[in-house]
Copies of this chain bind each other. A is one copy, B any other.
Amino acid sequence: MRYRSSVLAAALNGLTVNDAAHALSLEERGLNYGDGVFETMRLQHGAIRFIGSHLTRLTLGCERLSIAPPAEALLCSELATLTRDHRDGIVKLIVTRGAGGRGYRSNNLLPTRIALLYPVPSNATHSGITVRWCTTRLARNAQLAGIKHLNRLEQVLAQNEWHDESIAEGLMLDTEGELICATAGNLFIVRDGILVTPDLRFSGIRGVMREQVIASAQREQIVVEERALWPDELMSADEVFTTNAVRGIRSIVALDERRWMIGPITAQLLART
């Protein structure tokens, strides 16, 4: 099946791309090695939500990979140009080490900046979602944990495990059995009034919405624990929800035979984040 692009606007290194299907170098290291980082952001009422947090994480990711981070002011300006004719959308920003020669080693390349604007998915709001367990596991590597790099085969394989559209997300364990995240979002549970989320010391992505939720909880005097989390703690939790920057907080209401209500702390955080 030939894919029909839904891209509304695209830019490569700050220049508008009219033909996004024929734009990129075949020597792009983002293609050859997944050698870069990305952000997925929500354009809402003409502004990108949490743009500061997104650009901060992008810069941290570049630094972890020893990619010279583009100036945040430059990226802001390019994103403003990309989105100027739109009120709502999903903005994807990719920064790679650049287009370079064969071989893993890089040699002072110019990083590539790619910006794409997509329409908002029609199923972006939910009152509560059904999730499943994924069999694909996340590998543990502290050096790559937390940042949103382009090596995402584990998430691709996990999302391709199911095709039932009534299931909105899959929950992922790492190779040691720790509970880490949803395929495209972070995970929180509430037990005895305490909010718990995985500490992501060996795998997973430190989400922008995760950070916002933790900050909201702290303002609301809710105790937050970032620590190793295990599947049985989720099954016996009072409330469970996922977070990401596109879809916000989504309460989990069903997993296998287990059912939850949208609980009071989830509702409080939904109202205050």
Contacts and interface: CB of A to CB of B under 8 A. Distances in A.
A104 B20 contact: no
B109 A3 contact: yes
Contact of A101 (B6, B144, B153): B6
B34 A150 contact: yes
A175 interface: yes
A24 interface: yes
A26 B114 contact: yes
26 contacts: A1-B109, A2-B110, A3-B27, A3-B99, A3-B110, A6-B101, A22-B22, A22-B25, A23-B24, A24-B24, A24-B28, A31-B114, A31-B150, A32-B152, A34-B34, A34-B150, A101-B118, A104-B156, A104-B184, A139-B141, A140-B140, A141-B175, A143-B157, A149-B153, A151-B152, A151-B153
B66 A160 contact: yes
Copies of this chain, whole number: 2
Interface string A156-172: 11111000000000000
Interface of A is mostly: loop
A74 interface: no
A165 to B, nearest CB: 11
Interface residues of A, number: 74
Given A23-B22, A25-B20, A149-B153, A101 B1 contact: no
Interface of A: 1-3, 5-7, 10, 12, 17, 20-35, 38, 40, 65-66, 90, 92, 94, 96-110, 114, 116, 118, 136-141, 143-144, 149-160, 175, 183-184, 203
A179 B66 CA distance: 25
A17 to B, nearest CB: 7
Given A3-B100, A138-B141, 19 more contacts: A3-B27, A3-B99, A3-B109, A5-B25, A5-B101, A6-B101, A12-B26, A21-B26, A26-B116, A32-B38, A34-B151, A34-B152, A65-B156, A97-B156, A105-B160, A136-B143, A139-B141, A139-B144, A151-B152
